[in-house]
Structure 1
Amino acid sequence: MQGFRSDINALRAFAVLAVIAYHFGIFKFQGGFVGVDVFFVISGYLMTAIVVQALQQQRFSFVTFYLARARRIVPALWVLCVFLLAMGALLVPVPQDYVMLAKHVYKAMLFVSNNTFYQESGYFAAHANEKWVLHTWSLSVEWQFYLLYPLVLWAAWRCKPTLRGLNAVLIVLGLASFTCNLILSRSYPEYAFFMLPTRAWELVSGGLLYTYTLQAGVPSKWRPALQYIGLLLLTLTVFTYNSTLAWPSFWALLPVVATLMVMAAQRENRLLQQTWLQWCGSVSYSLYLWHWPIWVGLHYYGVSRDLWAIAAGLLLTLLLGTASFYGVEQPVRQGLSKYSARKSVAVLLSMVLVVYVGAWVVRQNDGFTGRLSPYLQMVHASIGNSNPREDECQGNDRKDAAGCQYGGETLGLIVMGDSHAQAVIRATEQALPSKQYHVSDWTMAGCPPLLGLHSTDVKSRCAQHLNKYFELQKTMPRNVPILLVARYSNYIEGPSEWDLQGQEQAPEVYFGQQPYAQRTPAFYHEMDAAVVRTACELARYRPVYMLKPIPEMTVDVPKYVLKRSWLGLDAQVQLPTREYQQRQQRILHSMAQAQQQCGVKLLDPAPILCHQQVCASSDARGRPYYYDDDHLSVYGAEQLLPLFRTMFAKP
């Protein structure tokens, strides 16, 4: 088949619809992310066709190839980036979020956003839904491939101008990339997902299909079966795969092979030639560009579970994608093709420069905090109202073996726990009876103070940290109390955030040889026993205090208030006391056991933070007690000063 391929165009439509359905949570398309892998295979096939045909005809030009790709990709992406930068002042009231948007937009225009997102967090992480151009990671991978791939094919052709020689090179590249993918998908999953070395095999597989079909096509009698089996396998992956899989790893083989089967059949098909499907394939790039920012907008304002909002988001995706295709993608590409190479390069570089300047202005002005009213500026200040020494002091990699110290020369209190302990530690410093005393910081994020702990999240770091300080405390003066603080319910019951509820199945912590696949009675018993055992072991050496759970709000309090208030909506965040008690009942029972068995003293923040059947997230003026959804800010922790002073009421 020469020229336009309706089967490939239909695959584009399948890929973009699967991705959109997955992101918008439609019809259980839980594996729709495989659409990107389909795109990669198609790109590898088409790019190989373009380069190999030119090499065979001795007319290949790097300048021509790169300019053609840039004309295809850059203009529509540029319009999206400029739109987001400009509208961010209206749509993104949180200055930090606006600054992050500016950074990501600029990285997207340079086609290095995949490296940025790899360093920040995973694609399937909850915070990924707050990154307006996260989807450009795949464009960055493709562009990086476009830069390097022609060089490889050209060099191989210069050495041996035969298809067999190209095949050998592509096989070596594909196997090396696939091996890299298998190794890194487990040990470095974020790198494996976002980066070219672990994704190149998908693009190269498309290239191999092209070079092999040039030599020998599939027999006609096999083509219908090959095509239908490929389509069936692709559909199967969309409905059976999910985000818990290590990706790409070997799981990506199935959608890649299925895509290759459909393309290898090279068969016209009435099903694939339907007008609406072909149209979706034609506008797939523009639909892909616009669907994700629209979805992020729904999530950003907390309406991503509202059916009417989802329907409006899909309609807006259709409208903006269509406008981008007919108003930008097609006419600009055709217009630039009439320019000389030098003029085309100047126009494209000017586009990048415009985005760079816009992003620089946003970042230099710290997201334009002046947009906010005095009240919202007070709310905004709560986002950064955390312990300024947090990064310096938590963890077991610091140089000071005894931990960070807050205060004077004499040890007055030890605080041990996770990031919830870190959040309140400066308030405990203020509660010390004299400035001559100091608080010793033995905290580490994600590590509850539990003897024998293992964690699937931070591996052995928690155990090393806890063991070191459990031994160290044995050498400390025995009249010095220790305060245990942790977000125990997160380890026992899972996350409380509204966008994470129900997603996590397996507990992150365990105490035996193997982690638990789910929360069983045996798991709950181990957790309960560990809480009591830890407190009682410490009580052998010193007075032990345990802070009862801090109420966990289900949303990021200051950001939620900023967003809702920006739109003129009700921004009050409260947690019913009944829900607080229900979520914390297991850890409260364990703490009561420790109190009964070992004389541990319990400090209860509920009477201070909870009134009239609700736990408040802010004071009467609207100043938040939290710097996110569950960590008290410095101001919030100061509300607990009367509670912490009870630890020093008697010598």
Structure 2
Amino acid sequence: MRRDYREDIDWLRAIAVLAVVAFHFEAPAVYGGFVGVDIFFVISGYLITGIIQSEVKSGTFSFAQFYERRVRRLLPALYAMVVLTAIPSFHYLLTSERQEFFRSVAAVVTFTSNFFFWFQTGYFEHAAVEKPLLHTWSLAVEEQFYLALPLSLWALLRFVGGRRVVPAALGVLSLASFALCIWLMRTDRSADAFFMSPPRAWEFLIGGIVAIPGFPVLRHALAQAVARATALVLIAIPIFSLRQGPGFPGFNALTPCIGAAMFTWSGIGVPTLKRSRYSPFNVARFFGQISYSLYLWHWPLFTFARFSKAGLVLGATDKVALFALTVLISSLSWRFVEQPFRLKGLAPTRGFMFRIAGLATLVLLAGSALGIVASQRPSEADRVALQLESFNAYDYQPLYRFGSCFAPASGVLDEVCLAFAPDKTNLLLWGDSLAAHYFHGLGKTTDPRLTKTLQATQAACMPTFNAAAQGNAWCRGFAGQMDAFFADHKPALVILSADWLEYSRPPRFDGMIADLKQTIAKLNERGVPVVLLGPAVQFRSRLPSMLMRAHLRQVDARPDDFVLPEIFDLDRNMKAALPAHEGFSYISVVDVICPARQCPLTLDGGIPLAWDHAHLTAEGSVYVVSRLALKRVIPGQPAGLNPESRDSGSTLTRVPE
């Protein structure tokens, strides 16, 4: 192993950091950019293992020297970011949020932030974007790995040795770590697998295995090129196709980690070439060199930039400008903070470096304690925001009949969901979560003595008989169950509703309309009338959070800033594509609820219309359903269905719009 500079490692760092930044900045198509962190873990394992084994072999290894390098590499830029991030926290955070922020500062400087955020929130949950230091969890995992690896590797190399023993030992440890990760995933503890060091250790270790002498080295240029091309494909697949959620890390982390290990493996022994100043490879090397500072700065800048916007959403122009600013700040951090400490221009001796690091740590811990104490007393803004904050943990499950008639664990709806009442008019609500959120409103606005609402709702499943169009197995099963239900049941009315915005994303609009027309026609052929509710009111971000930020900044909450404008265009297109005919009508939710595009944000008592970006609160469900044209076709309301037609399958000539 040579410890010469390897340009390709900086290329890989660039891929990793740009993937993470693109994911967090919500760049189009970069759905799985979070795997860049896993790539960093592999790189760290490779480099640290290579350094330790080469120094042990030459007799120059020193734990003090090892940790001096880690301190110089990690702490100056990290501490500078933490200090400067604290400044905008006094303007953009509630006092209660600042209290949590200063607690996270203490966790960051003690490298326990993975534990801190593990207790606080999931990485992919809504509240994550409101935590400026959340991204430091990965640094804590890395530092904890640095505490265990040097001693273990030193002992193996010093007392066991052997070209095969050390790789075998690392392989066994890697398999044990991966097995732990999979076990945690399968026992519904994905947060443990995500944030904790032991189930992440395998990612570092597979990089370390490649660095150990005895691992085969590619000598032929063609083999190196094929390995590198394969590695890039393995890295690109999850970056552009993997979706965030509880299915990560687990098996989904294998592809990017194997790809990163192959990439480093393919470059062993390959010399760094001289390139022209404007070569694209030099651009990649630049981003690789500033990758640590870029990772440190991108997330707090994104968080506070969101807080500065009324709708908590950054437009495309905002994101481009923010990326440029992030690169500029990161370059300055690399040039004037990272480099002087790493090259010993500042703190030239080991003892001096350790003293500076220790003093800075104590200062930050003291500042953290003062910040926590200063944030003990809630402000008026905190008291007003407390009600809104409660909606971030809104208990929607009873309203949706979760686990029974919405998202049943078995994938099959309970019998009670579709049980007919022989002496009542049976209505069927069919769709996904944006159908389920109307169930409570229907129950409160219909006469239970005359009407029964049946419910068939499954998360992320469009109401269609075309099972092949559904994207997953439980949706295909859901479509089959509904087909079987309608074979021998005729509700008086079927109400279709779903997240049409999601199902119609380009280029899927025409396919969605075709599926809906086929489903409606099939229901009408069986004598079942249909009402389709158009796109629900959707907001740019979580409505309670936007209202809370508007109150904190003392600005008016305006629907134009909060409401997602795409819903109006989609509603117009769906209305034109699904004209009313005998047995079918389209009802525009936004036309009824948002006259002149001015959608209500709160109801009486300051209750938000929705508890997240689209799903209605209980009060919001009643508000919306009571105003829809549905009231004209439900028994007990003006122009209601003839009670004699209950369960008879009689057709509806036209639902008034």
TM-score after normalising by structure 1:
0.67
Which of 536, 548, 553 is the aligned partner of 1:550?
A: 536
Letter in 2 for 1:112: N
Contact 2:543 2:608 in 1 (8 A): yes
Letter in 2 for 1:389: P
Which of 386, 400, 424 is the aligned partner of 2:438?
A: 424
Match of 1:244 in 2: 241
Deviations, residues 53-92 of structure 1 (Å, cap 9, x unaligned): 5655789787986686467535644554565466434224
Which of 383, 387, 398 is the aligned partner of 1:389?
A: 398
Matched, 1:446 2:460: yes
Match of 1:160 in 2: 160
Correspondence 1:261-280 to 2 at 5 A: 261-265=266-270, 267=272, 269=274
Q: Which moved more, 1:577-586 or 1:252-261?
A: 577-586
Residues 56, 625 of structure 1: alpha-carbon distance in 2 compared, 3 angstrom cutoff: same
Match of 1:529 in 2: 518
Contact 1:415 1:443 in 2 (8 A): yes
Matches of 1:119 and 1:536, distance apart in 2: 49
Contact 2:88 2:304 in 1 (8 A): no
Matches of 1:117 and 1:631, distance apart in 2: 26
Match of 2:142 in 1: 142
Matches of 2:456 and 2:29, distance apart in 1: 44
Matched, 1:519 2:488: no
CA-CA distance at 1:294 after TM superposition? 1.7
Match of 1:91 in 2: 92
Local SS of the residue matching 2:610: coil
Matches of 1:550 and 1:326, distance apart in 2: 52
CA-CA distance at 1:289 after TM superposition? 1.0
Matches of 2:51 and 2:323, distance apart in 1: 39
Q: Which moved more, 1:29-38 or 1:428-437?
A: 29-38
Contact 1:577 1:615 in 2 (8 A): no
Letter in 1 for 2:264: T
Deviations, residues 293-342 of structure 1 (Å, cap 9, x unaligned): 22344455333521444433432333455565379888899599528999
- The alignment of Structure 1 onto Structure 2 pairs a total of residues equal to 603
Deviations, residues 455-488 of structure 1 (Å, cap 9, x unaligned): 866632673598389759979xx9x866635225
Matches of 1:604 and 1:86, distance apart in 2: 46
Residues 112, 25 of structure 1: alpha-carbon distance in 2 compared, 3 angstrom cutoff: closer
Local SS of the residue matching 2:164: helix
Local SS of the residue matching 1:484: strand
CA-CA distance at 1:560 after TM superposition? 3.9
Residues 67, 482 of structure 1: alpha-carbon distance in 2 compared, 3 angstrom cutoff: farther
Letter in 2 for 1:243: F
Matched, 1:487 2:498: yes
CA-CA distance at 1:110 after TM superposition? 1.4
Match of 1:572 in 2: 558
Local SS of the residue matching 2:435: helix
Matches of 2:468 and 2:372, distance apart in 1: 43
Matches of 1:188 and 1:435, distance apart in 2: 42
Q: Which moved more, 1:619-628 or 1:176-185?
A: 176-185
Match of 1:370 in 2: 380
Letter in 2 for 1:616: C
Contact 1:117 1:137 in 2 (8 A): no
Match of 1:112 in 2: 114
Matches of 1:159 and 1:134, distance apart in 2: 40
Contact 1:177 1:197 in 2 (8 A): yes
Which of 595, 602, 609 is the aligned partner of 1:611?
A: 595
Matched, 1:260 2:240: no
Matches of 1:69 and 1:295, distance apart in 2: 27
Letter in 2 for 1:420: L
Residues 290, 332 of structure 1: alpha-carbon distance in 2 compared, 3 angstrom cutoff: farther
Matches of 2:524 and 2:362, distance apart in 1: 63
Residues 328, 68 of structure 1: alpha-carbon distance in 2 compared, 3 angstrom cutoff: closer
Local SS of the residue matching 1:639: helix
Residues 132, 71 of structure 1: alpha-carbon distance in 2 compared, 3 angstrom cutoff: same
Contact 2:114 2:196 in 1 (8 A): no
Structure 1 regions of 5+ residues with no counterpart?
Answer: 495-501, 503-517
Match of 1:459 in 2: 473
Contact 2:12 2:260 in 1 (8 A): no
Match of 1:48 in 2: 49
CA-CA distance at 1:572 after TM superposition? 2.4
Contact 1:47 1:207 in 2 (8 A): yes
Matches of 1:184 and 1:589, distance apart in 2: 47
Structure 2 regions of 5+ residues with no counterpart?
Answer: 244-251, 644-657
CA-CA distance at 1:489 after TM superposition? 1.3
Contact 1:548 1:603 in 2 (8 A): yes
Q: Which moved more, 1:343-352 or 1:41-50?
A: 343-352
Deviations, residues 474-519 of structure 1 (Å, cap 9, x unaligned): 79xx9x866635225135303xxxxxxx6xxxxxxxxxxxxxxx63
Match of 1:292 in 2: 299
Local SS of the residue matching 1:286: helix
Local SS of the residue matching 1:338: helix
Contact 1:174 1:201 in 2 (8 A): yes
Letter in 2 for 1:244: S
Local SS of the residue matching 2:240: coil
Residues 159, 422 of structure 1: alpha-carbon distance in 2 compared, 3 angstrom cutoff: same
Local SS of the residue matching 1:632: coil
Q: Which moved more, 1:105-114 or 1:230-239?
A: 230-239
Contact 2:121 2:127 in 1 (8 A): no
Deviations, residues 552-607 of structure 1 (Å, cap 9, x unaligned): 444544444554665577752346999626446447755835xx2xx467655445
Residues 329, 239 of structure 1: alpha-carbon distance in 2 compared, 3 angstrom cutoff: same
Contact 1:22 1:31 in 2 (8 A): no
Letter in 2 for 1:315: L
Match of 1:497 in 2: none
Residues 369, 462 of structure 1: alpha-carbon distance in 2 compared, 3 angstrom cutoff: farther
Q: Which moved more, 1:148-157 or 1:174-183?
A: 174-183
Local SS of the residue matching 2:444: helix
Deviations, residues 385-422 of structure 1 (Å, cap 9, x unaligned): 774734763432499752599xxxx9987644422233
Matches of 2:237 and 2:407, distance apart in 1: 39
Contact 1:423 1:631 in 2 (8 A): yes
Match of 1:648 in 2: 635
Contact 1:66 1:147 in 2 (8 A): no
Local SS of the residue matching 2:407: coil
Matches of 1:63 and 1:392, distance apart in 2: 59
Contact 1:591 1:602 in 2 (8 A): yes
Deviations, residues 270-294 of structure 1 (Å, cap 9, x unaligned): 6699999988766542332112322
Matches of 1:530 and 1:360, distance apart in 2: 61
Which of 317, 324, 334 is the aligned partner of 2:330?
A: 317
Matches of 2:349 and 2:26, distance apart in 1: 38
Residues 139, 395 of structure 1: alpha-carbon distance in 2 compared, 3 angstrom cutoff: same
Match of 2:611 in 1: 627
Contact 2:496 2:530 in 1 (8 A): no
Matches of 1:435 and 1:99, distance apart in 2: 52
Residues 440, 147 of structure 1: alpha-carbon distance in 2 compared, 3 angstrom cutoff: farther
Letter in 1 for 2:114: V
